[in-house]
Amino acid sequence: MKQALDVLKVMVFSIMIFSLFSVMCGSFSSSADIGETGGVKSIEKFRNPLETSSDFQEPSSLLKPIIWVLGIIAVIAVIIAVISVKKHGDIKNTLAEQRRLLKKNKEKYKLLVENADDGILIVQNLVFKYVNKRVYQIMGLSQEDDISNNLVDYIFPDDLNIVLESYEETMLSHNPETNFKVRLLTPDKSILWVHIRSVPAVWDDEPANLLFMRDITPHKIMEQDLQQAQRMEAIGALSGGIAHDFNNILTTIIGNAEVALMDLSEQAPGKNEFEQIRESGYRARDLVRQILTISREDTMDVQPLYLSPIIKEALKLLRSTLPTNIKIIEKIDKHLNLIMADSIQMYQVFMNLCTNAKHAMEKGNSPRLEVELQNVTVRPTDPEASNELKPGHYVKLSVKDNGTGIDPNIEQKIFEPYFTTKNKETGTGLGLATTLGIVKQFGGHITVDSDPGKGTCFNVFLPVCDIKNPDDRESQKNVPVEGEGKILFVDDEKQITIIAKKMFHTLGFSVMTANSGKEALECFARAPDFFDLMITDLAMPEMTGVKLAKEVMRIRPGFPVIMCTGHSDTFDEATAKESGIMEYITKPYNLKELSVLALKYIKKIKAA
């Protein structure tokens, strides 16, 4: 508008000049005419000096070209003004359209940035200059929450060097971008894994970093699951091989102790020593089973049991493995109720809780671990009662330490998978999650009482079993059973065949032994009807126990076979039943229990 007014002023000024010259020219011409008719002498005087010039012209004749030029200029000025006004209008409309498009594009880009799957940040000198909505979502914040402007406040301490090195590389090198993975700490102390792509940028005419942040926590969890599975697979393969050989050794140790005890009277010297040897063999057997259970998903053996023997056995191991400065206080009721659980799984639960307690007390003075086992009744009015812990009768296991305690802000997260306050070398975040999962499988629940700086107490509630009398299978294992019958006993370990022959002879059975499947088959083939039962090892060179059993049952259909093994990943009780094998037992077996099974099937074959 201002330019149009300036042009209009020029037009008006040009027209005024043109008009002024026109008036002046007209006046001058009239004055010349009056002088001529009136005889004014001044005119004559005026002309006299010029009479000598032949080119003299009238003034009006001189001004006419100037008047025409000024007229043309005025017309041109008017045309220019009209064109300028039109162009100014076009420019104004163009600018308005550009502003509208700019605003529209800005809204589009804002919509894209604010709703992107990745968090987008502008960081300058490690200070946030801009963050989009997704960053708040990743960090678990609402946009009303206060957010620190410093990037360092959110980086997991162990990963801070990664961020600083990447920041320097982006700012100082010529790389168009850098990529790295780091852990972030959310306000509630949870750990997030993020992938960050860093690109050089300029913000307010100063160098900056444009960061694209993607939450990869689920991928990291799957990656850790895979790594954990691979580790467990490797441990399982190793432990399986060790278990097979170790169980064979334990079979000989336990078997010899049992044979010796059968020959000793109650007051005989050495009886207690042999009983301790046998019990130690059983403990070693249980440890092997625990290793196998942890390293692979073995089927649980849920049965009525007393928890006190398991806890006492675990405490013996803890006293030799915990630091000597930790004082262990044991409070176990004598008359505990039965629970339905798997003994190996409950052993793992207790050891996990004690391991956590040990870590909590590492930096404390006078560390103290208290273990309490008692019968309790949870009433509807009790503070422990909840949807997870219904009123009823329970056996309560408490593990209490005087360590650092648990921060109230993270107490609700301690049972979540992969949540840990330990570093990656000492913690996986699986211990408490696994512990709670096991307890829930048995209908129980875990509560936590913690006082930061003073200690923590984990309370495990396990429902009481309705069975009045426990299964007497354990007592049956120690009762020798005498009988008659002819047994073919096959094992590639010579010591095992020797001790088995001694035991069965002592009980009245007739036993023939073989140290290979091929030898046993030749013996059986010579007199198939002579034998009443075959007990064979599974893993043997040249001919396995499975192949031997098939050949024997082909020769004599329905012949009873008991399969024994130190350990197998490919053969189990279900597979044995499908193959026609009567019983499948694992080493180190109780030879007296084995005698019960032998008598059972010998009676059946003789009655047939």
What's the pLDDT tens digit per position in 221-262? 888 778 877 776 777 777 777 877 888 888 889 888 888 888
pLDDT at 54: 46
pLDDT digits (tens, 9 = 90+) for 310-352: 898 888 888 878 888 889 999 999 889 999 998 888 888 998 8
Average pLDDT, the chain: 79
User: Angle CA(503)–CA(576)–CA(481) in degrees, nearest 5?
Assistant: 25
What CATH number was assigned to the domain covering residues 479-607? 3.40.50.2300
* CATH architecture of the region 119-215: 2-Layer Sandwich (3.30)
Q: Where are the chain's structural domains?
A: 2-111, 119-215, 307-469, 479-607
pLDDT of 475 higher than 70? no
pLDDT at 48: 45
d(CA 500, CA 505): 8
Q: Are 266 and 275 in contact (CB under 8 A)?
A: no
d(CA 574, CA 549): 15
d(CA 386, CA 383): 8
* Nearest residue to 198 via CA among 151, 147, 138, 158: 151
pLDDT of 477 higher than 70? no
pLDDT of 549 higher than 90? yes
pLDDT at 542: 86
pLDDT at 298: 52
Strand partners, 122: 130, 210
Which CATH superfamily includes the segment(s) 307-469?
Histidine kinase-like ATPase, C-terminal domain (3.30.565.10)
pLDDT at 488: 95
Chain mean position to CA 523: 58
520 falls in which pLDDT band (50, 70, 90)? very high
In degrees and rounded to multiples of 5, residue 377 shows phi and psi of -120, 125
pLDDT of 50 higher than 80? no
pLDDT at 425: 47
Mean pLDDT of 13-17: 60
d(CA 509, CA 511): 6
pLDDT at 146: 63
* Nearest residue to 82 via CA among 17, 10, 20: 10
Mean pLDDT of 262-278: 84
429 falls in which pLDDT band (50, 70, 90)? very low
pLDDT of 218 higher than 90? no
pLDDT of 494 higher than 70? yes
pLDDT digits (tens, 9 = 90+) for 121-175: 888 888 888 888 888 888 877 766 666 777 788 888 888 888 888 777 777 766 6
111 falls in which pLDDT band (50, 70, 90)? confident
511 falls in which pLDDT band (50, 70, 90)? very high
d(CA 13, CA 534): 132
17 falls in which pLDDT band (50, 70, 90)? low
pLDDT digits (tens, 9 = 90+) for 357-401: 888 888 778 899 999 999 999 888 887 778 778 899 999 999 999
- Alpha helices (H) along 39-159: 41-47, 59-114, 133-139
Chain mean position to CA 582: 44
pLDDT at 31: 46
24-38, 159-173, 467-481: segment of lowest average pLDDT = 24-38
pLDDT of 105 higher than 80? no
pTM to 2 decimals? 0.53
pLDDT at 395: 94
Q: Are 598 and 591 in contact (CB under 8 A)?
A: no
pLDDT at 546: 92
